[in-house]
Amino acid sequence: MIFSKPVGIISYGTALPTQCILSSEIENARNQEHSGIPESLGVSQKTVPNIDEDTITLSTDAVRQALSRSSQDSNDVGAIFIGSESHPYAVKPSSTIVTEALNLPSTMSSADLQFACKAGTAAMQLCASYVAADIHRSCISVGADTAQSHPGDVLEFTAGAGAAAYILGKEKLLATLLATSSVLSDTPDFWRRPMQQHPEHAGRFSGEPGYFHHIETAAKNLLQEVGLQPNDIDYCIFHTPNTKFPQTVAKQLGFSHKQLEKSLIVNQIGNTYAAAALLALANVLDTATSHKKILLVSYGSGAGSDAFLFETTPLLVKARRTWTGFVSEQIAQLQPLSYQQYLANTQRH
């Protein structure tokens, strides 16, 4: 879908826990020193939520930052959608709690979304559609997760936590949304049944028929629709379950490491699931200059991808001059935990 009316990002915010665990600490606790797993995944550490942090608290912090960076009256926000696979309640929306915590209008549309790691970009598509259809002046989309993993599973090296919030509207755009498209299939590569604490995954099966097929298809479809080639793009962002997968798919699609490298924060925060692609986008927006084209492609197991094409505006550069709390600053403040502290925190989630 190519947008014929101006629609895009008018503000954004991010939230990471203040704690992390080094991959080497996990190796040592499992008596797997020098296993080579962190190096193969390209993840040196991951974020860890504190005992009082969950998808709701992280979403609230990310939305609060986005609102503080926006000149728009919060009463003009018409909807909020929160995508996650770790909502604290099976039946009770996260979106209503975030709305009330931030004193947003009680007349807003809202919903919690679930599509594995692409639930956050699904929320973004909904918001863009609401704004383009003149249903609301602006809407908030959030991707947030406190990812779970079996102790001893390879996912333990990557399952992180974080949130990213985007306010979409029509005026004072930091980045214009030029087009978006999606692709999906019934590919059971990753799942968690009711009452299960940790997800199951199909290992290598999640690669070629899952991640690579959907991201490649979505990216090619969007580029074809807008008539662009990889060398016309300034930044590319692909979902980051690890560092290896996005590097591989970027190369297969014809993108350079320079176009990709700014999005590879997974090395320092792990895979934040529904927040991953949106946090990577925020890290790109934190330093990008004006008139830069950004290709973003998410991936959610089960399976599907959402692709977006953004172009930054001069207002982004101007607005950033008064901001603090950039993604890189939050990463720099992470405090390492011991494996015992890490277990104590994660067992409460």
The answer to whether the CB of 137 falls within 8 A of the CB of 131 is yes
- 239 an active-site residue? yes
Task: Kindly name the residue from 25, 53, 85, 156 that is annotated as catalytic.
Answer: 85
**Which is nearest to 65 in space by CA: 146, 129, 150, 140?**
140
Beta-carbon-side half-sphere exposure of residue 58 (alpha carbons within 13 Å)? 35
Query: How much of the chain is in helix, strand and coil states, percent to nearest 5?
Result: 40, 25, 35
Task: Kindly name the residue from 87, 201, 214, 239 that is annotated as catalytic.
Answer: 239
User: Is beta strand 19-22 parallel, antiparallel or unpaired with respect to 335-336?
Assistant: parallel
Report the chain's C-alpha Rg in angstroms: 19
DSSP SS3 for 108: coil
Task: Kindly name the residue from 20, 25, 27, 117 that is annotated as catalytic.
Answer: 117
DSSP SS3 for 245: helix
Residue 244, amino acid:
K
- 117 an active-site residue? yes
- 139 an active-site residue? no
57 Cβ contact list (under 8 Å, min separation 6): none
C-beta contacts of 337-345 below 8 A and 24+ residues apart:
337/19, 337/20, 337/21, 337/25, 337/48, 338/25, 339/21, 339/25, 339/26, 339/28, 339/29, 342/21, 342/25, 342/26, 342/48, 343/151, 344/51, 345/19, 345/48, 345/49, 345/50, 345/51
Known catalytic residues? 85, 117, 239
